[in-house]
A = this chain, B = another copy of it.
């Protein structure tokens, strides 16, 4: 007899006519997300999942076919959290440079939510899965490609608006930005240094400001 609280999971995206199973599924995803992000796919056991949720194996496997399915759903959840936050903030800005600066501002806060629960899910998943788990690798790939496409679009629009230098290579700008903040997260989490991240994001800021 497990009581599932309503409305705290899926970060507010609770639909009113969710079935019990749908709610439990969302609950499992929410509760195991930080575990998977910290310990990784191979490092997270079913026991970790049952203790995090308070549910039994039977209950979890009644909602998901196996560990892989939970991990894939968890990745979607983790990625959606950061990407929707970034997207919302970008929508508020009009100029290309301002839109690009959102990334620097967002990732400066590596130790605050939603990044505090194990860092960037894209980085963690990419590094673990690239040689071991095709399904998770594909998810991470799509995430990076969506960021890349997003940044490229902003840069191209900036060039069209004469805001940015037309000799820029939008793809190069995009990849460099992503490398900077992902590498920055790795360093900041490892050295437990907010300052390190701020320095790296400051470099990114300067880089963006020089895109004239």
B128 to A190, Cβ gap below 8 A? no
B187 to A178, Cβ gap below 8 A? yes
Closest to A184 in B: B179
A119 contacts B by Cβ under 8 Å: yes
The CA of A2 and the CA of B39, in the complex, are separated in Å by: 36
Interface members, chain A 164-197 (any B CB < 8 Å): 169, 171-172, 175-176, 178-184, 186-187, 189-191, 196
A207 contacts which chain B residues (CB < 8 A)? Answer: 207
Interface of A (DSSP majority class)? helix
Closest to A179 in B: B183
A interface with B by C-beta (< 8 Å): 38-40, 42-43, 118-119, 123-124, 126-128, 130-132, 137, 140-141, 144-145, 169, 171-172, 175-176, 178-184, 186-187, 189-191, 196, 199-200, 202-203, 207
